[in-house]
Amino acid sequence: MIYEKLMERRTIRKYLEKKIPREILVKCVDAARVSPSAANKQPLKYIIIDDDELLRKVFKTTKWAGYLPEYYPTEREMPQAYIAILLDKRINENSGHDAGIAAMAITMVAYDEGLGSCILGAIDREKLKEILRLPEYLDIVLLVALGYPAEKPVMDEVRNNDIKYWLDEKGILHVPKRSLNEVLRWNGWRD
């Protein structure tokens, strides 16, 4: 069941104007909280953003689709919540892989609850830090956008080594993924 969900889940960039129950957002953070952490230091903190005014401010700090600069949510399609993943530098100076693991936990719990998500690294961290009134010891590592999907991207195989996602004539987002044969070897790398 987990495998099937991982195979089905795609990044969502456009959302319905429908509020997310807070208990689902807390569940997402709780899953991230108990995720693996290097040396079990647990240096991550989280902020859930679901206030309408803050959502608009945070939205203005985000960038959405590098390969399709014109493909981004409008204010009517913007996320209905964000979870900011923060590094507490008093505990550890870097998050290593902890933030990526936490982000994946958040997105999979969200998917299981019927939500779409987008893990954002292309954000104006300084502006966002100001909006969220963060103390100096907290850095923003990632921002996870959440909402009920207003789109249904599809997965394609990479062709001619072109990994860029694209829109078809119906406006459906196609996301190429490398084949298992291209990325997997047994007991060492042999071409």
- State the Cα–Cα distance between residues 94 and 89, nearest whole angstrom: 7
- CATH 2.20.180.10 occupies which residues in the chain? 153-191
**What is the pLDDT, as a whole number, of residue 95?**
81
Alpha-carbon distances, residue 114 vs 20, 99, 131, 147 (angstroms): 10, 22, 28, 9
Residues facing 44 on adjacent strands: 87
* The pTM of the whole model exceeds 0.85: yes
| Tens-digit pLDDT profile for residues 110-163 | 999 999 999 999 999 999 999 999 999 999 999 999 999 999 999 999 999 999
| Tens-digit pLDDT profile for residues 84-109 | 999 999 999 888 899 999 999 999 99
CATH topology of domain 2-151: NADH Oxidase (3.40.109)
Class of domain 153-191: mainly beta
Q: Check whether 185 has a pLDDT greater than 90.
A: yes
